[in-house]
Amino acid sequence: MMTTTCIIPVYNEFGRIGSILRSIEKLTAIDQIICVDESNDGSDREIANFSRVQLIHFTKRLGKAEAVKVGLKYCTSENVLLMDSDFIGVGVDELARGIEIFEHNKIDMLVFRQKDNAQIYQLLKLDLTVSGERILKTKTLTEIISTKVHGYQLEMHINDYFIRHPELAVYHLPLAGHNVFKFLRRGWKAGLKDGITMMRDTIGYRGLRYYMNHVLTCHWKEWSERQ
């Protein structure tokens, strides 16, 4: 039987991180839960209340990509489920189904597409291309992230790898839940700053033209039991 580790990078999610951890702890298919915390708001104290969670705490800001890279060093499973720490209302049954599909079929990456997102996100494929919820093989993610990747560019970097390797099988599945808007978590000023940083990192990955082409060439299909 294959094993799966869930890695969750955390930055200042006190009062919210418990929501996603309670959901992940319900998943019997998850063998290991790792939180790489770089918060200064006490998130680590909240995480410490969850017995199944392995907490790795840093007092300085690492950035999402570097946090995942740290988590991989402690990963003991064949597969990795990446989750955002601000994801709420997660569909536990849908996650469980996705893990089962990934483990029993020849799939190299399964992306969870947030079905509760606004229509504009779906039209621009942002619910797919920048989704932080995805499963892939540990050795594949380790290879991808071994090259330099900055901050919020992680998802673009992963996508780019699979676009350059069309022989690899990538599918997506709908998932209930959504990310909390940054301004609701950190206030207008800090939330706007963080949002601008995310867009700068994402579009700045290889420029606006590449970003648009990236979206247009991302033709991954939704998984069907008839596959």
**Structural domain contains residue 53:** yes
**Structural domain contains residue 81:** yes
**Structural domain contains residue 37:** yes
**DSSP element (H, E) containing 81:** strand 79-82
Q: Which pLDDT does position 184 carry in this prediction?
A: 47
**DSSP element (H, E) containing 175:** strand 170-175
Which CATH number belongs to the domain containing residue 28 in this structure? 3.90.550.10
Percent of the chain exceeding pLDDT 70 equals 74
Average pLDDT (158-177) is 90
The structure's pTM equals: 0.86
* pLDDT tens by residue, 97-142: 999 999 999 999 999 987 766 565 665 666 677 788 999 999 999 9
Full domain range(s) for residue 132: 4-222
**DSSP element (H, E) containing 136:** strand 134-137
CA quadruple 63, 67, 69, 72: dihedral, nearest 10: -170
> Considering the chain, what is the average pLDDT of its residues?
84
Binned at pLDDT 50, 70 and 90, residue 215 comes out as low
**Structural domain contains residue 227:** no
